[in-house]
Amino acid sequence: MVQPAPDGGLETITYGELVDRTDRCAGALDALGLDVGDRVVVESDTSADAVATILACATLGLPFIPVSPGLPDERLRAILAGAEPALYLQGPDGRRTGVDAPIGTGRFGPDGLRTERAPAARGPRRRRVVTAVDTAYIIFTSGTTGRPKGVAMSHRGVVSFLRGVRTFDLLTADDRVAGTAPLQFDFALFDIGFALSHGATLVPVPRARLTWPRRFLGFLRDAEVTHVDAVPSLWRPVLRHEPEMLTELTDVRGVLFSGEAFPPHELRSLQGALPKARFLNLYGPTEVMAISVTELPNPLPPEAERLSIGSAVPGAEMTLIGPDGRVVDEPGVVGEIYLRGPSLFTGYWNDPETTRRALVPDPLDPASGRLVLRTGDLASPGPDGALYFHGRADSQVQIRGNRVELGEVELRVAEFPGVTGAIAAVLPHDDEPRLHVFVTRAAGGPVPDAKNVADFVRAVLPAYMVPSHVHVVEAFPLTANGKVDRAALHAFA
């Protein structure tokens, strides 16, 4: 791993050192008398000590719950109430206070684990064995209802997805993978497993480097990274402010993205700056870590309006199911994505009802007792059999009774001269829901005129898909995981 050194440069932690730190941390954890299944909250950004701590937890069968330092107190309290962890750990510079007994507290750092308050006395250990189906980690996602859902992922789940990814031979031991996701996002856990499972070097990008494009690109250049893992929205400010500096990243041979659809026009701009790089679209919900890895053509064909999410990694399967419960395999026909395979999550923590709604009897083989994950995502088969993403089932919107493909509106508006990004949303109004479009423009470029944008859309799309409001914004609101926060857009209206 490569990370900022205390003196301001970069330091390298070898695999040997990582193993030593992991073993030392495991020894200290073991001395606390925790039992297989006892949870440990790890509050940190990705660092060698955080990785050593979560690997130590995994070795002892202690499900770790990664949270990022920026997490608001009341959100942490909700997670602590839900997961009832035995122990809460933060890094040497962590500033969190207010984690009360009976939860134990401590800090991890280069010199190992220091306990501040021992966890409340546990009963005698009931388990001696850590099995593949035990919980490796619990990722709390802000469920649509606002109450956090804990996605419990087994060791088998993680390892089987990472094994599937290895069949693509994407990395060698000489590669240096830049990770940009916060530790509480399973994209960050993937980055760790992705690098480690190839013996490659993980280069977590310090969060302070992510806010300014020049600083971000400067870090990637100085750390000589060969792969950059990031959600598509992370590239938007880079493309807007530093497109030419991007072309200097001649070491970068792979760009992996996930979490949201990469707008085609923005992807083409990124590809233009990195003509030699491979572009890999990773798709999948946290409930399976992910399910598919698809290399996209560089450059993307000019007529491409949707990106392929390919097919599941070897050993897993993506199936499209129609409203009638039958398989959809006709090109162009939309169905809901169902996932099958060993990387399915165990369930939502302490929430059997929500789990039953997600892990359902296999519609193609109900008698088998096998459960499959219904994702709530829509896709259609392409002529090549690969699946093309169509968005979330619950984000299909209607205007005056007509189904609006927000992606189509966004595609058209993004072609308007001077527009660099477009997000469409149907927002409630006193009389009827209205179609709004939020646009970003080239730095210093002209402010697109709302009427001209509407006329530009009217020229090719039906009237109900013409936006009634156009908002020019500096940047789109983002979630804690860096995706466009569509729910927050109405605040901009």
Ligand X SMILES: Nc1ncnc2c1ncn2[C@@H]1O[C@H](COS(=O)(=O)NC(=O)C[C@H](N)c2ccccc2)[C@@H](O)[C@H]1O
Tell me the closest approach of the beta carbon of residue 380 to ligand X, in angstroms. 13
Under the binding rule (CB under 6 A), the answer on residue 289 touching ligand X is yes
Under the binding rule (CB under 6 A), the answer on residue 285 touching ligand X is yes
Tell me the closest approach of the beta carbon of residue 139 to ligand X, in angstroms. 8
3-state secondary structure of 415: coil
Of 48 and 282, which has the nearer Cβ to ligand X?
A: 282
Under the binding rule (CB under 6 A), the answer on residue 261 touching ligand X is yes
Of 86 and 234, which has the nearer Cβ to ligand X?
A: 234
> How distant is the alpha carbon of residue 44 from its chain centre?
17
Of 140 and 190, which has the nearer Cβ to ligand X?
A: 190
> How distant is the alpha carbon of residue 242 from its chain centre?
24
Under the binding rule (CB under 6 A), the answer on residue 308 touching ligand X is no
At 361, phi and psi to the nearest 5?
A: -55, 140
Under the binding rule (CB under 6 A), the answer on residue 377 touching ligand X is yes
Other beta carbons less than 10 A from residue 463's beta carbon: 10
Binding mask 10-39 for ligand X (x = CB under 6 A): ------------------------------
Size of the site for ligand X (CB under 6 A): 21
Between helices 186-196 and 48-60, what is the axis angle to 10°? 90
Site for ligand X, residues 381 to 400, rule: CB under 6 A = 389, 392
Tell me the closest approach of the beta carbon of residue 435 to ligand X, in angstroms. 21
In angstroms, the Cα distances linking 25 to 32, 111, 127, 170, 444 are 11, 9, 20, 31, 51
Under the binding rule (CB under 6 A), the answer on residue 258 touching ligand X is yes
Tell me the closest approach of the beta carbon of residue 289 to ligand X, in angstroms. 5
Under the binding rule (CB under 6 A), the answer on residue 246 touching ligand X is no
Query: Would you say 464 and 458 are in contact if contact means Cβ atoms under 8 Å apart?
Result: no
Q: What are the start-end ranges of the H helices in 426-470?
A: 450-458
- Taking only Cα atoms into account, the Rg of the chain, rounded to an integer number of angstroms, comes to 23
Sign of CA dihedral 140, 143, 146, 149: negative
Tell me the closest approach of the beta carbon of residue 379 to ligand X, in angstroms. 9
Query: Would you say 320 and 379 are in contact if contact means Cβ atoms under 8 Å apart?
Result: yes
Q: Which of 44, 286, 308, 311 binds ligand X (CB under 6 A)?
A: 286
Under the binding rule (CB under 6 A), the answer on residue 150 touching ligand X is no
Contact region with ligand X (CB under 6 A), list: 286-294, 344-352, 380-388, 461-469: 286-294
Tell me the closest approach of the beta carbon of residue 99 to ligand X, in angstroms. 25
Of 19 and 487, which has the nearer Cβ to ligand X?
A: 487
Give one DSSP letter per residue of 43-63, joined into a string.
E--S-HHHHHHHHHHHHHT--
3-state secondary structure of 330: coil
Of 47 and 286, which has the nearer Cβ to ligand X?
A: 286
3-state secondary structure 139-199: EEEECCCCCEEEEEEEHHHHHHHHHHHHCCCCCCCCCEEEECCCCCCHHHHHHHHHHHCCC
Under the binding rule (CB under 6 A), the answer on residue 290 touching ligand X is yes
Under the binding rule (CB under 6 A), the answer on residue 344 touching ligand X is no
> How distant is the alpha carbon of residue 182 from its chain centre?
9
Under the binding rule (CB under 6 A), the answer on residue 375 touching ligand X is yes
Query: Would you say 226 and 175 are in contact if contact means Cβ atoms under 8 Å apart?
Result: yes
Other beta carbons less than 10 A from residue 124's beta carbon: 6
Tell me the closest approach of the beta carbon of residue 218 to ligand X, in angstroms. 26
Binding mask 183-222 for ligand X (x = CB under 6 A): ---xx--x--------------------------------
Under the binding rule (CB under 6 A), the answer on residue 51 touching ligand X is no
Under the binding rule (CB under 6 A), the answer on residue 64 touching ligand X is no
Contact region with ligand X (CB under 6 A), list: 285-293, 296-304, 320-328, 463-471: 285-293
Binding mask 98-117 for ligand X (x = CB under 6 A): --------------------
Of 108 and 161, which has the nearer Cβ to ligand X?
A: 161
CA distance 74 to 223: 36
Of 91 and 264, which has the nearer Cβ to ligand X?
A: 264
Under the binding rule (CB under 6 A), the answer on residue 410 touching ligand X is no
From 139, 135, 121, 130, select the one nearest 42 (Cα to Cα).
Answer: 139
From 291, 278, 345, 299, select the one nearest 319 (Cα to Cα).
Answer: 291
Of 141 and 468, which has the nearer Cβ to ligand X?
A: 141
CA distance 485 to 479: 5
Q: Which of 35, 260, 351, 449 binds ligand X (CB under 6 A)?
A: 260
Q: Which of 61, 91, 179, 259 binds ligand X (CB under 6 A)?
A: 259
Tell me the closest approach of the beta carbon of residue 377 to ligand X, in angstroms. 5
Strand-pairing partners, residue 347, are 152
Tell me the closest approach of the beta carbon of residue 258 to ligand X, in angstroms. 4
> E strands within 39-146?
40-43, 64-67, 87-90, 104-109, 112-117, 135-142
In the complex, the residues that contact ligand X under the rule CB under 6 A are 141, 186-187, 190, 258-261, 281-286, 289-290, 309, 375, 377, 389, 392
